Amino acid sequence: MRNIIIALSLIVVFSTSCDMFGKKKREEQARIEAQRKKDSIAEVKKKAAALKLKKQKEEQARKDSIKKAEEARRKLYKYHIIVGSFKTPKYATAYNDFIGKKGYQTEMLKNNYNFQMVSIGAFKSWREAVAELNKAREAIEPTSWIYIRE
């Protein structure tokens, strides 16, 4: 009987401890899985940040390219036909819209004295500008003039 009691005691002790070891193993696996999820989320956030930075750099490169092209155009096309010049930006914008509705491709320029000028064309050479100036004086505004952007 004593042997049976000892055997049963050992079985109870070992069967309980096996469950205890299994519980620790499950807890360790859950901890590892939680760490994997955490690492995965961190990796996704890192990739998203890198993608956002890449898009920002591409957008900045595009803006820089546009700016360089505009500067090159500005240097190349320096003679402008001005049909209106205004100190008040509100009036300049209204006149720009008015001329645009007539079918002309307009551009707003600003000179050193902070006048807003409405241009209906930019030209490479003085001759082209003078030829178009005469047309502008007949069709749009008799006081049109040529502005030379430096």
Q: Is 147 exposed, middle or buried (0-12, 13-18, 19+ CB in 10 A)?
A: middle
Residues listed for the chain = 150
Q: What is the pLDDT of residue 16?
A: 54
* Residue burial 115-137, b: 16+ Cβ < 10 Å; e: rest: bbbbbbbbbeeeeebeebbeebe
Mean pLDDT per 10-residue section of the chain, whose length is 150 residues? 70 59 79 87 89 92 88 82 95 96 92 94 93 93 92
Instruction: Please tell me whether residues 93 and 135 are part of one structural domain.
Output: yes
In the prediction, which pLDDT does 4 show?
A: 74
Number of structural domains in the chain: 2
CA distance linking residue 126 with residue 3, whole number of Å: 120
Query: Is there a single domain that holds both residue 61 and residue 120?
Result: no
Q: 136 and 144 in contact (C-beta within 8 Å)?
A: yes
d(CA 124, CA 104): 18
Residues 93 and 51 in one domain: no
Residues 127 and 62 in one domain: no
Whether residues 35 and 99 share a domain: the answer is: no
Q: Supply the pLDDT for residue 129.
A: 95
User: How far apart, in Å, are the Cα atoms of 29 and each of 36, 38, 97, 107, 132?
Assistant: 10, 14, 70, 68, 81
